[in-house]
Chains A and B, each alone.
Chain A
Amino acid sequence: MPTSIPSNGAPMGAVSPDAPAPTGTIRVWDPAIRLLHWTIAASFAIAWLSAEEIMPLHEAAGFVILVAVGLRSLWGLIGTPHARFADFVPSPGGFLSYMGALVKGRAARYVGHNPAGGAMIVALLASLLLTVATGIVLDTGGGILGEDAMEEVHGAAATVTLILVILHVGGVILSSLLHRENLVKAMVTGRKRA
């Protein structure tokens, strides 16, 4: 868990709100992270919308998600510094203390993922994997649960994933407002204020 990231010598969370940044940006998210992020986002949207309607597209989107989650996990072990899970996955205590600070509006700014974002990444990837896994079993007849029950489980897993996506987007907006930066843009350009 990153306990202190010096940002221009200022204490964490004390970055001036209107500090001009164009020259002070650094590359945080490497191209692989950004490509995988938006691939998963687009594929989940496609899979959600095509469910029970356009099955070949639905299944293709599921397989793209499976490969992307696998690559993201691998990159989480051997990738660039801010891509590595060790950089951002919090301990339970670290997560709780960050959430405590967040509700008081005093959450520290992180150049990489903050602890809540880090926990969300693990939850999202795990939920996506569970959704894909139940989808594959459903496609082969539902396994030991049978088709009807498996259909419910697959649908529930997808719904859990959607809820996590909504929380994830909410967290991104909250963090962006709190630290006066556009985190969505950062996931496109890869660059953030130092």
Chain B
Amino acid sequence: MMYGKIAAAVLLAGSLGIGTYALAVETAPAGQAQPGQVTDANALTIPQVMERLAAQGYSDISEIKRHRNKNYKVEARDPQGKRVELAVDARTGDILKTEKDED
């Protein structure tokens, strides 16, 4: 009996807490709410990112998209000719992460 009431109460409190947090961050003024995000004003455009990657020897870009408004996710061929997936910093154009592309 006791376990049931405790479990239900904890789950209810958790839901309310998470819901309150979500409401707070979603309704907070833009710019404050999402510290990790880059506004479009100081982000590189897709052509700029492609140009920088080409200058570093990347070719055959098959996909490029903004990932959660923060980084660019790029699928391309690296200078050695292997297919890779890159995470590119939207502000600086630095390659943050390189993963082998399995597709």
Task: Give the B-binding residues of A (Cβ under 8 A).
Answer: 1, 55, 63, 66-67, 69-70, 72-74, 76-77, 84-91, 118, 122, 125-126, 129, 132-133, 136, 139-142, 147-148
Mark the stretch among B5-13, B39-47, B50-58, B78-86 that contacts chain A.
B5-13
Contact in complex: A147, B4 (CB < 8 Å): no
Task: Give the A-binding residues of B (Cβ under 8 A).
Answer: 1-5, 7-9, 11-12, 14-16, 18-19, 21-22, 25, 33-37, 68, 70, 97
Residue of A whose beta carbon sits closest to that of B22: A136
A66 and B7 contact, Cβ closer than 8 Å, known pairs A141-B35, A147-B36: no
Contact in complex: A122, B33 (CB < 8 Å): no
Add 20 more A-B contacts to A84-B8, A126-B11 (CB < 8 A). A67-B19, A70-B19, A73-B9, A74-B8, A76-B12, A85-B3, A85-B5, A86-B1, A87-B4, A89-B3, A91-B3, A118-B4, A129-B11, A136-B18, A139-B68, A140-B35, A141-B34, A141-B37, A142-B36, A147-B68
Which residues of A lie under 8 Å from residue B70 when comparing CB positions? 141, 147
Contact in complex: B9, A77 (CB < 8 Å): yes
Contact in complex: A85, B33 (CB < 8 Å): no
**Measured CA separation A129–B13 after assembly (Å):** 11
Residue of A whose beta carbon sits closest to that of B18: A133
A-B contact count (CB 8 A): 88
Which residues of B lie under 8 Å from residue A140 when comparing CB positions? 25, 33-36
Which residues of A lie under 8 Å from residue B4 when comparing CB positions? 76, 84-89, 118
Residue of A whose beta carbon sits closest to that of B36: A141
Contact in complex: A90, B18 (CB < 8 Å): no
**Measured CA separation A67–B14 after assembly (Å):** 11
**Measured CA separation A87–B1 after assembly (Å):** 7
